[in-house]
Copies of this chain bind each other. A is one copy, B any other.
Amino acid sequence: MQILLSNMACISMKSSMNWGWMATGKKQMNQNNALPDIAAFLKSQDTLTLFCHVRPDGDTLGSAFGLMDLLESLGKRVKVLCADPVSPRYRFLSGGRADLLGTPEGALVCIDIAAPDMAGAYAAFAKQADLVIDHHATNPYFGKWNYIDAAAGATGEILVDLAEELGPLSPRAAAAFYTAIATDTGCFKYGNTTRATHLKAARLMETEFDVAALNRWLFQTKSQAEFEINRLAMETLRFYAGGRIVTMLISREMLLQTAAGADELESISSLPIQIEGAVVAATFKEAEPGQYKVSLRTNGLLDGGKICALFGGGGHRMAAGCSMRGAYETLEACMVKTLRQELEKVQ
């Protein structure tokens, strides 16, 4: 991270950017610029490119397109770029476009991008970011200007504050920021939902948009393929240790039969841990024949990240993953054995 920052310093010397924080001498390592200063920086630019992270979700897209709307209202030329396609669920944000490829120009802004690599094919541009706005705790403050708030449930929450500095919210921008916040917090369900999250949702709802229809689209609409893959996966549930361990299989046959895409598989790994009594759930997705991506979910009692590390993977306590190769029955038995051992340590 230090190497990255010193590289950034080199670039900075050559750039003609207005480094407000150098002039005031207030900027320290990993310290945020003030939002009014960031707003002033954005207002000083004529052309801007906003980058979203790969496998774009509602937070990166909603935050970027909401900001685009605000900046366009100020007469700026703005484009949003993303190296990966936009899933059908979020294309209402991008005006129907699945493809957000193009040539970056003007000021480079990274939105909800935890590290330059998360910009995928645009990583080289992300490394030169003029501004980074994000809520991931691991963000190395890789922009010339930065605003990172790990307490925010979504990057969209930061954008609501920034919008106060940039001018009136259109219904379109409000809906985009609402999408960002609602999707990253599981519609205000997950542990990252704070008082501020609710206050910002209330603030956005001062601007009129059809929040009920938006919620229906985001949280209560599933494709037939998603319904079908969920049903098939639920047939494969197996329970061990009195129901405390649950396993689930998504075979290649099931994927081919339903034609379910990545979008339709997004939340399937979270299903088995919802079963009452489950402490840990392992979902095996057969990515290639005999090659499985294993998603571990825990109720917090076990550390899924540590368990996945035993298999060369990693992640968080409650959500982690690893890859395994072999016959399903063998791999499942191996994982269950490990999970039993881990359970015995804590119970």
Contacts and interface: CB of A to CB of B under 8 A. Distances in A.
A227 interface: yes
A205 B198 contact: yes
Interface in A199-229: 199, 201-202, 205-206, 211-212, 215-216, 219-224, 227
A220 B319 CA distance: 15
A270 B221 CA distance: 11
Contact of A202 (B195, B237, B270, B299): B195
B190 A227 contact: no
Given A190-B212, A195-B205, A202-B202, A235 B231 contact: yes
B222 A193 contact: no
Given A222-B274, A222-B275, A275-B224, A202 B211 contact: no
A340 to B, nearest CB: 19
A85 interface: no
A188 interface: yes
A234 B224 contact: no
30 contacts: A187-B187, A187-B188, A187-B189, A188-B188, A188-B201, A189-B219, A189-B220, A190-B215, A191-B212, A193-B215, A194-B205, A195-B205, A195-B206, A198-B198, A198-B201, A198-B202, A199-B199, A202-B202, A216-B299, A220-B270, A220-B274, A221-B276, A222-B275, A223-B275, A223-B276, A224-B239, A227-B234, A227-B274, A230-B234, A231-B234
A199 B188 CA distance: 13
